Amino acid sequence: MVLGFAFVSPTTSALTVLRQHQVRHAGGRVRRHFREHRHWELASRTHQLVMRGCVAERSSEYFGSGAAVRNLQRLSLHPAPQFIGSEYGGNAEFGGKNGGTVLLWFRSDLRLDDNPALCAALEEGASVLPVYCFDPRQFGKTSFGFEKTGRYRAKFLIESVADLRKALKKKGNNLLIRIGKPEEVIPDLCRKYEIKKVFYHQEVTYEELECEEAVARKLEDMKVEVHPFWTNTLYAVEDLPFPVEETPDVYTEYRLAVESKSRVRDPLAAPDEIRAIPRHVEYGTLPTLEDLGLGQVPKTPEYGSASTAGSSLHHFRGGESEAQQRLAQYVQDAKHALSVGGDVERAAAHLGADFSCKISPWLALGCVSPRRIFAEIRDHALNGAEGAQKSTTFFELVWRDFFRLITYKYSTSRLRKSERAAGMPHKASVAAAAPQAS
């Protein structure tokens, strides 16, 4: 895994476009526009689905007078199967043919907000089976004898998975938890629940890509489709001015290229509803540190408690809800520092009240996305995109992207070499077209 370095760690369907923009208030205009173009059936079902979730955040540029169809054509979009009934080839949710349950494999994307793999899974299936595997290999030791995952990081991970399960329950679903190798657990679940599509977030290191390869091979033998998504960088891979495998090795060259030719997409909102599989499921229990072969951590004061107030010492707790609280606090601190107006305060505004945004642990596990961080500081703290792009936090997020892309570049190179040596076909490739909110 990519661990604790300070910040390390399209065609789309018409539904995706609607998700890209705040259509809760524009639904009427959308319906009227589709009606004018003889697509009332599409517009009506579109409006129903948009009200359910994964609604994105900006609409005026697409749904002004006379603009909707032109923008759909410009983006080469087509209606998602959910929009339409079986007479048009739609899916089971509206009496069509493409429904059923899909499996969503959570990895280092432990969030519902701005999760392209989740939104894509919701488009494809009438119900979703969310899964998280505690892979025993991640809790072993390296060839040098060092722990891959220490007790504190494991505790943070367990808390993050627990928070994800809680969030899924609020949306009408649950999180299936297993201790085991994904290449064994996921095919078994697909077989048991007759699942034909698996969605997941794509990782970047050699061992994680090797695991993806093993999962993909077994699912291919079972005629199960795999759909990887690139979800944890500031810039979408589709927007990079070069193929991922050709990422420049020099950071300055990389930075100048993306800053001049790429843009940061808006984040996707969390869905309002995530339909559960309509049958009995053994969701499993959350493991303890002992279950993972690790000892308990010492009792320490919680982050933000009276004993840590005014101190630079922070005790982090995992989970998307905690990440959102920390991000909100950072934005508040930045706004306050800017209002004071001194040089020191302005510097603090770009990093946090004590010169650190302290959000890296949540970024590492995907409890919050880089795009969400950028959007929050852009919209609420640092005077729009121009101000946000001058912030130290933005530059650190760009650095983080660079490290992830370089890691992927050389991990895939190593993986291809090992597969050629073993006479195996290479399957891993960077995830293509992901839902977007631009």
Annotated binding site for FAD: 356-360, 396-403
Please give the structure tokens belonging to residue 407.
């890691």
Alpha-carbon distance of 362 to 371, in angstroms, equals: 13
Identify the burial level of 279 via C-beta atoms within 10 angstroms of its C-beta, where 0-12 means exposed, 13-18 middle and 19 or more buried: exposed
Alpha-carbon distance of 390 to 338, in angstroms, equals: 14
CB 360 within 8 A of CB 151: no
CB 400 within 8 A of CB 7: yes
Q: Which residues are annotated as a binding site?
A: 356-360, 396-403
Q: What is the 3-state secondary structure (H, E, C) of the chain?
A: CCCCCCCCCCCCEHHHHHHCCCCCCCHHHHHHHHHHCCCHHHHHHHHHHHCCCCCCCCCCCCCCCCCHHHHHHHCCCECCHHHCCHHHCCCHHHCCCCCCEEEEEECCCCCCCCCHHHHHHHHHCCEEEEEEEECHHHHCECCCCCECCCHHHHHHHHHHHHHHHHHHHHCCCCCEEEECCHHHHHHHHHHHCCCCEEEEECCCCHHHHHHHHHHHHHHHHCCCEEEEECCCCCCCHHHCCCCHHHCCCCHHHHHHHHHHHCCCCECCCCCCCCCCCCCCCCCCCCCCCCCCCCCCCCCCCCCCCHHHCCCCCCCCCCCHHHHHHHHHHHHHHHHHHHHHCCHHHHHHHHHCCCCCCCCHHHHHCCCCCHHHHHHHHHHHCCCHHHHHCCCHHHHHHHHHHHHHHHHHHHHHHHHHHHHHHHCCCCCCCCCCCCCCEC
